[in-house]
Amino acid sequence: MHTLEQIMARVTAALPGVRLEVIPNASPANQASLLLDHEHAREIAKFLRDDPDLRFDYASNATGVDWPEKTVKEKVKVKKIIDGVEKEAEELAERKTPGFLEAVYHLYSMALGQGPLILRLRTGNRTDRVALPSLTPIWRSCEFQEREIFDLFGIEFQGHPDLRRLLMWDNFADHPMRKDYAPADHQEAKP
């Protein structure tokens, strides 16, 4: 079993110019993941599948995650001049993290019995830059699952052979798995 760092080193040695980033995972599961850049995503995926030492021939799970824009309130230490004396004071600052949609892939190697290797792809935002490269040309197992992500999250997979809604009907407009989705006929139960 290769560590994530070893896999990263192999990929960057074979494919110069790729940008990879490790996304840590604080849970006891200890499943950190790799964030891929859009331009090289399919190239990297192909390498991971075909490299004789890695052979991630099986993409088990493909799914989406919605990360809406967040406002984080932080206490920031600032130096202020109060009554002519410079003092350190705490101030509440608001920081906005931009929202994005994420596609997550869990890869295993049936040939070598290793895994999971977790890949992530992130869109530019949640409105107009929601395209990601499809990995279906590399792993057919993503075909229906990417259609489901397109359907429920609204990520547009470029290069997907048949990108249609999977579970909702064709003229349905919204994406139900987004965090801000509200069904049109939704009525809150009144106590």
Please give the residue ranges that form the binding site for other proteins (CB under 8 A): 25-29, 31, 57-61, 63, 65, 104, 106, 110, 113, 116, 118, 139-145, 148, 152, 164, 166-171, 176-177
Whichever of 50 and 91 has its CB closer to other proteins, that residue is 50
Whichever of 87 and 179 has its CB closer to other proteins, that residue is 179
Taking the complex as a whole, how short is the minimal distance between the CB of residue 83 and other proteins, in angstroms? 41
Taking the complex as a whole, how short is the minimal distance between the CB of residue 161 and other proteins, in angstroms? 12
Taking the complex as a whole, how short is the minimal distance between the CB of residue 167 and other proteins, in angstroms? 4
DSSP secondary structure, the chain, as one string:
---HHHHHHHHHHHSTT---EEE---STT---EEEPPTTTHHHHHHHHHH-TTT---EEEEEEEEEE--EEEEEEEEEEEEETTEEEEEEEEEEEEEPPEEEEEEEEEETTTTEEEEEEEEE-S-SSS--EEE--TTT-TTHHHHHHHHHHHT--EEET-TT---SSS-TT--S-TTSTT---TT--PPP-
Taking the complex as a whole, how short is the minimal distance between the CB of residue 72 and other proteins, in angstroms? 13
Whichever of 124 and 137 has its CB closer to other proteins, that residue is 137
